[in-house]
A = this chain, B = another copy of it.
Amino acid sequence: MTQIGKDQKLLEGRAKVDGSLRFGADLDRPGLLHARLVTSPYAHASLRGIDCDTALEIDGVVAVVTADDLPEVPPSSRAMLMLARDRVMFAGQPVALVLADSEAAAQDGAEAVFADLDPLPAAVDLESAMAADAPAVWPEGLPGASAEAAAHGASGGGGGPSDAPSSPNEAPPMEFSRGDLEAGFAEADVVVERVFNTAPVHQSYIEPHVALVDPDPMGPGVTIYSSTQATYYIRDAVSALLGLEASQVRVVGTPVGGGFGAKFLLYEPLLALIAKAHNRPVRLYMTRLEEMLAATPAPATRVSVKVGAKADGTLTAIDAELIMDCGCFPSSMVVLAAILLGSPYQAPNQRVRGLEVLTFKPSIGAYRAPCAPQAAFGLESVLDEIADTLGVDPVELRLANASKPGDPMATGQPWPSMGMREVIEAAQSHPIWQNRAEAKARGRGVGLAVGGWPGGTEPAAAACSLQPDGTVQVHISSADISGTNTGLSQVAAEAFGVDSDKVRIITGDTTTGPFAGSSGGSKIMYTVGPAVIQAAEEARQQVFEQAAQSLEAAIEDLEIQDGKVQVKGSPDQGIPLGKIAQRTMRFGSRQAPIFGHGRHAQKGSSPGFCAQIAEVEVDQETGRVIVHKLAVIQDVGKAINPLMVKGQMMGGAVQGLGWALLEEMRYDGTGQLLTATFLDYALPHIEDSPVTFDMQIVEVPSPSGPFGARGVGEPPVVPTAAAVASAIKDAIGVRLDELPMTPPKVLSALSQPG
């Protein structure tokens, strides 16, 4: 293989650096209407009316849209909530939208709209929302879990509901169990039970949401430009809402300046309705403030973990629960929490549960391995405590209990091929771990944790053509996040037999493109890659068939070398690929165009595991935690593009450090967000990165992944917080049970009896 495993810079990297890449907010259209949201200042209130008169007097303001201007659509998902009709459920919820000929007029208009809101009592955290007498987010019953939330999830069936909710804000829990829990704990020599809390965090993509909807002048359709990970999801939602057929809604993905799971669909359906009603193009880009108030952050959770083990470290029982603060809409993601708590380690007796609780806050969205960092923080912390209590090496404890392929997951389904054990073994021999005594001697602490991601699947198709300049053009439809197009150019190059710089990846829209699923769940390389290989191999075969005639040779004697088709070892009579294409693209030609296609659906997922080792120093006076060293050891199956794979591992781990030490969306008791700007919301900066930051690739090939590749994006964010917590424990002797582990919490822990 010449193209696979080769470091390749991001195809669009230069344009991103020099500023020439055009993002959605750079788009314009003649007659564009600029949109700005008018949002609720209250977390819960009755909406008595909206006074638009002052706003409409402002020069340039064209209209103020309220729910009265929209069809009454069941609020089946957050995207269908659109504008508040008679009640708001979170501070920041849009109640109106101002349309104007300029952004400035729209902003002035939005400030001049008066929404007459009558505040009502709000339950904004888990405790208050779970009270039996809590104000209900949905007094008439919860809406169904949203389809787009489900789509973020990993594969695996859901468990059945267990028992009746105790509060109007609890959704039916998801639970998986096996064995006899009581007996399991009874035979344990040690039982550790802890409760952990994690803060809500924001995905904090640099580019806010942006969408532009252009009504089709030739029919009832619309073209939607959106910075989205899921063009087809938008197409299907909008066509259903507008009563159009799928092909009348054309969704064009614009470059995604960070998404991390949060950019599926949000305001596109609302904008499409408005663009159709006004028959003008409409654009909305969100401000950072709106992103913080009115997007879809990651949930706060409470994770309770109780684990029993024998003296030799063998687990006997796991009883774990993750309660997720979903904001104002249910999500189907909680099933993932249960799976992630009950699958990595084998205990014969276990019960794992996920529970969603609704609060008067924005509904949650996916964020890189949704639920997994929280679950791993609880589970890995408790495993370390058990190792501590038993005096067992924490790595040995993990190796003794780690799942192997074929072992049951929480659902009872067997684990497919995966490299959990291999990453733990690699971590065990890593210098940071091997030298932990030395670090300890210098006052530091070292912690290790493991986490994984089951990996998603969704069908995909691809097309491959040969162009007259000799380039190989590959047509796909997946949004290019995290370097997927760059990696797919290598995959196509390897399959076709050219250098990757001769491959052009064309990202289609929903009308022209071969179908691909959403860019979420660490699945683009895993699912689109095989379709690309099929398409490129078919095109290569067509090239051979054509060349075999000209060269009077058998197909099996041909090869592609240096951009030419030739009889093996005879470059002199080779035919340049461009010439092959030219022969198929001219008047009177008797050769059909080179046009291969691929279509594929994975039959199962390929989980990816990551182990991380953190070496920290805790400032005893300020409580500040400094992560000096971090090793990220990940099974990626096969690193198609090691440069980008390491970039993903690093990026995920830095976000993991944000979870661990910095990030928190803080709300006051009335549901007001106190951290609504990047001055207040602490994202990791470059100086928060470890000085020693080591990415180690492990390759346990996936039997079904392209060239053995597994999903890469999600696993590296999973174990970071747990590894840092164990390192802090190693350093100061106290385990923290709340994320982020900010200096005040560390100081508080330091003041506890060791």
- Chain A interface residues toward B at CB < 8 A: 12, 15, 20-22, 26, 28-30, 150-151, 153, 155, 217-219, 232, 236, 239, 245-247, 456-461, 463, 465, 467-469, 471, 473, 475, 504, 506, 508-509, 511-515, 517-518, 521, 531, 542, 584-597, 599-603
Contacts and interface: CB of A to CB of B under 8 A. Distances in A.
A364 to B, nearest CB: 18
Contact of A465 (B30, B458, B467, B514): B514
B12 A589 contact: no
A95 to B, nearest CB: 31
25 contacts: A21-B217, A22-B218, A236-B468, A239-B469, A246-B468, A246-B471, A247-B467, A247-B471, A247-B473, A459-B590, A461-B465, A461-B592, A475-B512, A509-B512, A512-B513, A515-B584, A515-B593, A517-B587, A590-B601, A590-B602, A590-B603, A591-B601, A594-B599, A595-B599, A597-B597
Given A587-B521, A588-B458, A12 B218 contact: yes
Contacts of A26: 217
Given A15-B218, A468-B246, A601 B584 contact: yes
A603 B589 CA distance: 8
Contacts of A469: 239, 245-247
Given A469-B239, A504-B247, A593 B218 contact: no
Contact of A592 (B236, B456, B511, B599): B599
B588 A457 contact: yes
A678 B232 CA distance: 49
A461 B591 CA distance: 11
Q: What secondary structure prevails in chain A residues at the interface with B?
A: loop
Nearest to A538: B597
A529 to B, nearest CB: 14
Given A245-B471, A469-B246, A593 B512 contact: no
Nearest to A156: B588
A404 to B, nearest CB: 24
B593 A460 contact: yes
Contacts of A597: 463, 595-597
A661 to B, nearest CB: 33
Contacts of A600: 592
A464 B528 CA distance: 18
A219 B255 CA distance: 14
A658 to B, nearest CB: 27
Nearest to A456: B587
Contacts of A30: 28-30
Contacts of A599: 542, 592-595
A728 B360 CA distance: 89
Nearest to A475: B512
B514 A595 contact: yes
Contacts of A584: 459, 515, 601
Contacts of A239: 469
Nearest to A151: B587
A515 B246 contact: no
A479 to B, nearest CB: 15
Contacts of A232: 585
A245 B472 CA distance: 11
Given A30-B28, A30-B30, A246-B467, A518 B587 contact: yes
Nearest to A232: B585
Nearest to A583: B459
Contacts of A591: 459, 601
A81 to B, nearest CB: 22
Nearest to A585: B515
B521 A512 contact: no
A512 B469 CA distance: 16
A521 B589 CA distance: 14
